[in-house]
Amino acid sequence: MEIAAIIVAAGRGTRAGGDVPKQWRALAGRRVADWTLAAFAGHPRVGRIVVVLHPDDMGQADTFTDVIVATGGATRHASVAAGLEALAGDPPDGVLIHDIARPLATPDLIDRVIDALDHAGGAAPALAVTDALWTGADDRVTGTRDRDGLYRAQTPQGFRYAAYLDAHRAHPGDAADDVAVARSAGLDVTIVAGDERNLKITGPDDFARAEELMGGRVDIRTGTGFDVHAFTTGDAVTLCGVTVPHERALKGHSDADVGMHALTDAIYGALAEGDIGQHFPPSDDEWKGAASEIFLRHAVDLATSKGYRVSNCDVTLICEMPKIGPHAGAMRAELARIMGLEADRVSVKATTSERLGFTGRGEGIAAQAVATLVRP
């Protein structure tokens, strides 16, 4: 069954506070929207993804890859309609509709909804209400309600696409959720087990709660890199993307940026994706004299494609000369720019080998690096 996902992101989220809508606010180092999209982009059973944006947020589409962008409407119902119509020209078998403000949807939860579509027109995750229910007025309890048969609805809510598109087109709007639209057309909707961690960010306190929940399921990987380049004739060296005047240059097939090479290999190592030589063979003249920024960007993009982000990195340059300290700030800033990180997540420092070995004899520069990647 071909499955598409519609991520509804056109709301303003005013109850969450902040200067921007909640989907664009930071959560554990990324935007809420980035975590939500990664959950579906990284799922092997989800094909196309439609993101429905508010007209004022269309510029955010530049930060997404491999998604269809649709313009939302004044209501959630109108925004879902825009997402459905964006798929109508090449309809999938099934569609998942998910709130952008639920960044913690797990692969298992998504699987449960998709599996249920094999035998039902619709499926949605939910949690049985277990707390006592009261009615109240003026801060006083006025009565109780029976909780038997009551559920807390979650997303993604899934449907057979063709039938649900017809239901949505026939519905007048203002439905409580997508299940209500389906039921109004007589479609059966199966309840599947929800997930307590599938939090919808609504108020200001939910950001801290979401980060706490993410701490228990973040996939953390660490890689190390090491590189060496000998000196040759020249008048400058390139280290971590910064040109440093020196009485000699570094010898290499590319620009011989020993620090950036070590960091690139650290990222490849964390991904178990080999090293620079495998991705950019030194036997290939295409990379002769190439800027090492190309290699580092490739490693970061590869991590992103697998659902990871670089959390932080640390590069140590080992040499007697040139002096690194005066340039370390610029090196950190350049690495941060290339990787799209805040500067305080990038460390560049230097040490000597106490005049021992080839670096101590001034024959070249060595570098070692550590990079940490995270994935929800």
> Which residues make Cβ contacts (< 8 Å) with residue 191, sequence separation at least 6?
123, 124, 125, 126, 151
- Judge contact between 372 and 311, C-beta under 8 A: yes
pLDDT of 282-315, one tens digit each? Answer: 888 888 889 999 999 999 999 988 888 899 999 9
Are 175 and 234 members of one domain?
A: no
Q: Which residue has the tokens 């080999």?
A: 274
Are 198 and 273 members of one domain?
A: no
CA dist 161 → 36, 75, 166, 221 (Å)? 21, 21, 9, 38
- Judge contact between 371 and 263, C-beta under 8 A: yes
Are 193 and 233 members of one domain?
A: no
What CATH number did the domain enclosing 309 receive? 3.30.1330.50
- Given a cut of 80, is residue 368 above it in pLDDT? yes
Are 190 and 251 members of one domain?
A: no
What CATH number did the domain enclosing 156 receive? 3.90.550.10
The amino acid that residue 102 corresponds to is R
- Judge contact between 244 and 322, C-beta under 8 A: yes
CA dist 284 → 76, 254, 269, 281, 296 (Å)? 53, 11, 22, 6, 18
Are 16 and 135 members of one domain?
A: yes
pLDDT of 26-50, one tens digit each? Answer: 888 788 999 999 999 989 899 999 9
Are 56 and 136 members of one domain?
A: yes
**Measured between alpha carbons, how far is 13 from 334 in angstroms, rounded to an integer?**
35
Can you give the residue range of the structural domain that contains 303? 219-375
Integer-rounded Cα radius of gyration of the chain: 26
What's the chain's average pLDDT? 93
Domain-ending residue, one of 214, 234, 262? 214
Domain-ending residue, one of 159, 189, 214? 214
Are 96 and 67 members of one domain?
A: yes
Residue 178 has which token pair? 């997508």
Are 204 and 300 members of one domain?
A: no
Name the nearest CA neighbour of 101 among 180, 63, 58, 155: 155
pLDDT of 11-30, one tens digit each? Answer: 887 777 777 889 999 888 78
Query: Residue 376: CA atoms inside 13 Å, Cβ hemisphere, count?
Result: 30
Are 228 and 337 members of one domain?
A: yes
Name the nearest CA neighbour of 341 among 374, 294, 292: 374
pLDDT of 125-173, one tens digit each? Answer: 999 999 999 999 999 999 999 999 999 999 999 999 999 999 999 998 8
Name the nearest CA neighbour of 122 among 82, 89, 101, 153: 153
- Judge contact between 313 and 371, C-beta under 8 A: yes
Are 200 and 224 members of one domain?
A: no
Are 79 and 204 members of one domain?
A: yes
Are 193 and 334 members of one domain?
A: no
The amino acid that residue 140 corresponds to is R
83-86, Cβ contacts within 8 angstroms, sequence gap of 24 or more:
83/6, 83/7, 83/8, 83/50, 83/52, 84/6, 84/161, 84/164, 84/165, 84/168, 86/50
Domain-ending residue, one of 184, 214, 244? 214
| Global pTM value | 0.62
Residue 376 confidence class, pLDDT cut points 50, 70, 90 = low
Q: What's the domain count of the chain? A: 2
